[in-house]
Chains A and B, each alone.
Chain A
Amino acid sequence: MDKKKLADILFLLGFFGFLVAALAITVFKPKDTWSYYENRSLAQLQRPTLSSLVDGSYTNSVEPFLQDHAAGRNTLLHVNTLIDLTLLHRPVVNQVIHTKEMLLGFNPYEIPNQTWIEQQADYMASQLAQLRDLVEGYGGHFYYVSVPGQYTYFEQEHPSFLNNRSAYTDIEIPAFISAMQSYGVNLIEMGSYLEQIGNPPELYSTTDYHYQFGGAYLTYETILDTIEQDTGVSLPRLAGDTLSIQELPNPYLGSRARKVFGLGGIEEHLTIGLPTSPIPFTRTDNGMPSPSLVYTLPHSDTEEVAYSLYMGGDMGETVIDTNRDTLPTLLIYGDSFTNPVECLMYYSFDEMRTIDLRHYKDMTLADYIQTYQPDYVVGIRDYEALLSTDFNGRPFEIQY
């Protein structure tokens, strides 16, 4: 056979073989609903209706479905990421900044609007002042805790040409402190505490947005110290002899590491703190009984662990009751920065309630406080969320 004709036939076989094989695998392979590494639901195919066929919404839904379920997708995502990290050395891969020592989040470039930030800080502080009034109205105490996120804690670790949000943070934090002072709301600004001890790198995660156990422990201690200073109440605390700290041998897959499919080459481990003399307690999650645990420990030493190790991850509502009536009750609300703090805080209170308004929709935060009237209410939010009116920043409304 003519060599050129042979080339054409081989090409045709390759061309059609590839397209048909990709189609067949895409159609017949089992369909997942969740992408673990991307931390999102995969697109599902709509059922076609006459109206969706006419208005084009059905046709628009097909391509995202095919993209999410295409043959070899996971492998290709891994390979692409590996090429970007190791061969092309892109500074940012899958929205993650890859440095020698850590994985940081990519922040879009921005021009901070000082007027907006100051107005928003004032608005947030005014909302928190109303919440404070509500708590103090029945004799309780309200504290608000601001914690730096990874981008602030490791500000200097960002390559100089990428945005570490310092321009934004430098306006945001003074404005927020000033607004909270003007409304007289108790603010525990963890950034300043961390700075006082020299921002030890081990307190924050190198592969995740959150603090490590050390950062959470310092937050726990600072909250209890502040309560003691303000009220004179000395609560039992996990410290020194009463606390056993263990670093888990398991590989930790932080959110940044997860985004790069664990290919970032940065090894990190999570730490837990357990009471040397455990106290009995009951736990309910979203009203349902749950095992009396605060850490979701892996089954083996090699299993990957995620931040959901702490408290089992984000929950709408969790109640831990230690049945020690002489101690006060506590409500903690906020985003996932609350989780490792909760793992310690239950030890110091009779009953600890925690709600996360991203998931809890039964009532507003204000109504929840009014219903249960906890002795202490502590809100914990990070710098990125501090001025956000989303979910945990909206105490008087239910946001869906």
Chain B
Amino acid sequence: MVFSSLIFLLCFLPSLLAIYYIIPAQFRGLRNLILLSFSLFFYYWGAGKLVLLMVLSIFINYVGGLLASQHQSKLLSRLGLWFAAVAGLGLLGWFKYAGFVAEIVNDLGFLVPIPHITLPIGISFFTFQGLSYVIDVYRGDAPVQKNPLYVALYVALFPQLVAGPIVRYTTVMEEISHRHETLEEFVPGACRFCFGLAKKMILANSMGQIADEIFGQTASTLPPSLAWIGALAYTFQIYFDFSAYSDMAIGLGHMFGFRFLENFNYPYVSRSVTEFWRRWHISLSTWFRDYVYIPLGGNRCAGWKRMRNIFVVWFLTGLWHGANWTFILWGMWFFLLLMGEKFVWGKWLSAAPALLQHGYTMLAVVISWVLFRAVDLSHAHSYLGAMLGITSATAQSGQSIYYILQFLPEWILAFVACLPIKQWVQSSLWQNNKTGQLVLYYTSRIAALLLLMLSYSELVTGSFNPFIYFQF
């Protein structure tokens, strides 16, 4: 099930809220049970019988956590960690990477059958989330959760289940058993959900339509202007799509008393790639930092080892996004850029005019999204070639004008929504005076309701509605 669907909006969410809030707050266990049941149903609705895989993943992490907490026996504790890591990553490896590995083996001349496996939605997210719990327990950073239903709720909690943010157990462990749902939390959460839904329905889907139509054409025939429009549209789509999902997840979390950490912070205003990665998919970057980079030695080791650590992180980050060389290349692209900023042009960049800093960062990011969106390496090569003017440019002329004029309102909105204008207005009104605060209070709620209605209208009248991050 996706948030931007009528089944979620009209059936799932009202039913859950009604049943959940009918149960008195003191029956926390029952409320959690309801939330867990609905979460599993939410996953079943999109994944069908693969919901059993999710249950298996919960079991692995529960048992792994129990074993990892046996600190008096290092062997048992390690066994728990390795069990969760091998079993969890093994499932991820099989379902997500088996076909890719088989293709590589075939390319090397060893003929093996290529398995055709349905990728369970959100497997990368819930695998990483579950694993972080076991690692935290192993490290002693978090206490073990002996109630299997609570582990299940942590892994399967529907707001962040299929597309993040990757929630750490330490963030929500208290809230699972002792949260307080209040009107003051619920309403901003619902508003955030409405804003996220509108972002998805109005901006991400329109930009996605442009990107899909342009990337769907033969890349070597695209005129440069069209190739750039496609790349920009995808740049907007991926941001609005993914950040919208995070907004909705965070908002829904608030509605049920959970406080998830922010996952995006206006990444397209960044002045360097390093800054970009501090603002983009924050929960994934911090996951890799805490569970891969730092355990490998982080910054506290010799230069080449540090470089190796960064390489490993970016190789894995690329691979995490998908079983395709394009994702690995995408990871390597960022590795090179980050290395460059750290050791080569970082000082020069920080001294450059702001406009140049933004231009450089966005150019790097747009190119990265072309690698990310391309079907394969050859497609990426041809598409980047088209952007640079190395193209036969036989595609029908006029398309660039069409994609600008047809989606002009969305282009303008997309440019505006990338900038922290909303934040600026909010903070200036908030600091203004009591009247300003009241105006902000009322307008934000009215705007949220209007956006909810607009999103409903888009949902009803349109059918173009895929979420990008489900494939990861």
Interface residues of chain A, those whose CB is within 8 Å of chain B, are: 3-5, 7-12, 14-16, 18-20, 22-23, 26, 54-56, 59, 62-64, 66-67, 70, 72-73, 76-77, 79-80, 88, 90-92, 109-111, 160-163, 167
Query: Across the interface, do B405 and A19 meet the contact criterion of CB distance under 8 Å?
Result: no
B109 contacts partner chain A, Cβ-Cβ < 8 Å = no
Query: Across the interface, do A22 and B438 meet the contact criterion of CB distance under 8 Å?
Result: no
Chain B residues near A67 (CB, 8 Å)?
A: 6, 459-460, 463
Chain B residues near A55 (CB, 8 Å)?
A: 48-49
Q: In the bound complex, what is the Cα–Cα distance between A160 and B401 (angstroms)?
A: 10
Chain A residues near B402 (CB, 8 Å)?
A: 91-92, 109, 161-162
Choose among B9, B397, B460 the residue that contacts A73 (Cβ–Cβ < 8 A): B460
Given contacts A73-B461, A111-B394, A160-B398, contact A63 B14 (CB under 8 A): no
11 A-B pairs with CB atoms under 8 Å apart are: A3-B438, A15-B190, A15-B448, A19-B10, A20-B14, A54-B49, A55-B49, A63-B5, A70-B459, A109-B395, A160-B398
Chain A residues near B113 (CB, 8 Å)?
A: none
Query: Across the interface, do A109 and B460 meet the contact criterion of CB distance under 8 Å?
Result: no
Chain A residues near B463 (CB, 8 Å)?
A: 64, 67
Choose among A8, A90, A163, A167 the residue that contacts B406 (Cβ–Cβ < 8 A): A90
Chain B residues near A54 (CB, 8 Å)?
A: 48-49
Chain A residues near B46 (CB, 8 Å)?
A: 56, 59
Identify the closest chain B residue to A90 (Cβ): B406
Chain A residues near B448 (CB, 8 Å)?
A: 11, 15
Identify the closest chain B residue to A26 (Cβ): B10
Stretch from B77-85, B421-429, B449-457 contacting the other chain: B449-457
Choose among A19, A77, A92, A109 the residue that contacts B399 (Cβ–Cβ < 8 A): A109
Interface residues in B1-38 (C-beta closer than 8 Å to A): 5-7, 9-11, 13-14, 17
Chain A residues near B460 (CB, 8 Å)?
A: 67, 70, 72-73, 76-77
Query: Across the interface, do B9 and A19 meet the contact criterion of CB distance under 8 Å?
Result: yes
Interface residues in B432-462 (C-beta closer than 8 Å to A): 438, 441-442, 445, 448-449, 452-453, 456-457, 459-461
Interface residues in B21-80 (C-beta closer than 8 Å to A): 44-49
Given contacts A10-B445, A15-B449, A54-B49, contact A70 B401 (CB under 8 A): no
Q: In the bound complex, what is the Cα–Cα distance between A79 and B456 (angstroms)?
A: 13
Q: In the bound complex, what is the Cα–Cα distance between A5 and B445 (angstroms)?
A: 12
Interface residues of chain B, those whose CB is within 8 Å of chain A, are: 5-7, 9-11, 13-14, 17, 44-49, 183-184, 186-187, 190-191, 194, 217-218, 221, 394-399, 401-402, 405-406, 408-409, 438, 441-442, 445, 448-449, 452-453, 456-457, 459-461, 463
**Whole-angstrom distance between the Cβ of A39 and the nearest chain B Cβ:** 16
Query: Across the interface, do B453 and A18 meet the contact criterion of CB distance under 8 Å?
Result: yes
Q: In the bound complex, what is the Cα–Cα distance between A14 and B46 (angstroms)?
A: 29
Query: Across the interface, do B461 and A76 meet the contact criterion of CB distance under 8 Å?
Result: yes
Identify the closest chain A residue to B218 (Cβ): A111
Query: Across the interface, do A161 and B405 meet the contact criterion of CB distance under 8 Å?
Result: yes
Query: Across the interface, do B406 and A11 meet the contact criterion of CB distance under 8 Å?
Result: no
Query: Across the interface, do B187 and A63 meet the contact criterion of CB distance under 8 Å?
Result: no
- Which 4 A-B pairs have CB atoms at the shortest separation, nearest pair first? A161-B398, A56-B48, A161-B401, A66-B6
Choose among A8, A56, A88, A110 the residue that contacts B409 (Cβ–Cβ < 8 A): A88
Q: In the bound complex, what is the Cα–Cα distance between A56 and B17 (angstroms)?
A: 25
Given contacts A8-B183, A90-B406, contact A19 B441 (CB under 8 A): no
Chain A residues near B48 (CB, 8 Å)?
A: 54-56, 59
Choose among B6, B187, B394, B452 the residue that contacts A18 (Cβ–Cβ < 8 A): B452
Chain B residues near A22 (CB, 8 Å)?
A: 9-10, 456
Residue of A16, A63, A92 with highest tally of chain B CB at under 10 A: A63
Q: In the bound complex, what is the Cα–Cα distance between A76 and B454 (angstroms)?
A: 10
Q: In the bound complex, what is the Cα–Cα distance between A9 and B183 (angstroms)?
A: 8
Q: In the bound complex, what is the Cα–Cα distance between A391 and B272 (angstroms)?
A: 58
Choose among B395, B453, B461 the residue that contacts A111 (Cβ–Cβ < 8 A): B395
**Whole-angstrom distance between the Cβ of B215 and the nearest chain A Cβ:** 14
Choose among B49, B187, B218, B459 the residue that contacts A11 (Cβ–Cβ < 8 A): B187
Query: Across the interface, do A163 and B398 meet the contact criterion of CB distance under 8 Å?
Result: yes
Q: In the bound complex, what is the Cα–Cα distance between A161 and B229 (angstroms)?
A: 15
Q: In the bound complex, what is the Cα–Cα distance between A12 and B255 (angstroms)?
A: 11
**Whole-angstrom distance between the Cβ of B4 and the nearest chain A Cβ:** 10
Q: A5-B183, A22-B10 are in contact. List 12 more A-B contacts (CB 8 A).
A: A3-B441, A4-B441, A11-B190, A11-B448, A12-B183, A19-B13, A59-B44, A59-B46, A63-B5, A73-B460, A109-B398, A161-B401
Chain A residues near B405 (CB, 8 Å)?
A: 90-91, 161
Q: In the bound complex, what is the Cα–Cα distance between A16 and B17 (angstroms)?
A: 10
Query: Across the interface, do B7 and A66 meet the contact criterion of CB distance under 8 Å?
Result: yes
Given contacts A90-B406, A109-B399, contact A63 B457 (CB under 8 A): no
Identify the closest chain B residue to A88 (Cβ): B409
**Whole-angstrom distance between the Cβ of B3 and the nearest chain A Cβ:** 13
Residue of B10, B46, B218, B463 with highest tally of chain A CB at under 10 A: B10
**Whole-angstrom distance between the Cβ of B221 and the nearest chain A Cβ:** 6
Chain A residues near B190 (CB, 8 Å)?
A: 11-12, 15
Q: In the bound complex, what is the Cα–Cα distance between A17 and B453 (angstroms)?
A: 12
Q: In the bound complex, what is the Cα–Cα distance between A91 and B438 (angstroms)?
A: 41
Given contacts A54-B48, A63-B6, contact A7 B441 (CB under 8 A): yes
Given contacts A63-B5, A109-B396, A162-B402, contact A7 B445 (CB under 8 A): yes
Query: Across the interface, do B10 and A11 meet the contact criterion of CB distance under 8 Å?
Result: no
**Whole-angstrom distance between the Cβ of B445 and the nearest chain A Cβ:** 4
Given contacts A8-B183, A11-B445, A67-B6, contact A80 B13 (CB under 8 A): no
Given contacts A54-B48, A91-B402, A163-B396, contact A111 B221 (CB under 8 A): yes
Query: Across the interface, do B6 and A70 meet the contact criterion of CB distance under 8 Å?
Result: yes
**Whole-angstrom distance between the Cβ of A66 and the nearest chain B Cβ:** 4
Identify the closest chain B residue to A77 (Cβ): B461
Q: In the bound complex, what is the Cα–Cα distance between A10 and B457 (angstroms)?
A: 22
**Whole-angstrom distance between the Cβ of A113 and the nearest chain B Cβ:** 11
**Whole-angstrom distance between the Cβ of A94 and the nearest chain B Cβ:** 10
Chain A residues near B457 (CB, 8 Å)?
A: 76, 79-80
Chain A residues near B5 (CB, 8 Å)?
A: 63
Query: Across the interface, do B398 and A162 meet the contact criterion of CB distance under 8 Å?
Result: yes
Q: In the bound complex, what is the Cα–Cα distance between A72 and B460 (angstroms)?
A: 9
Identify the closest chain B residue to A5 (Cβ): B183
Chain A residues near B47 (CB, 8 Å)?
A: 56
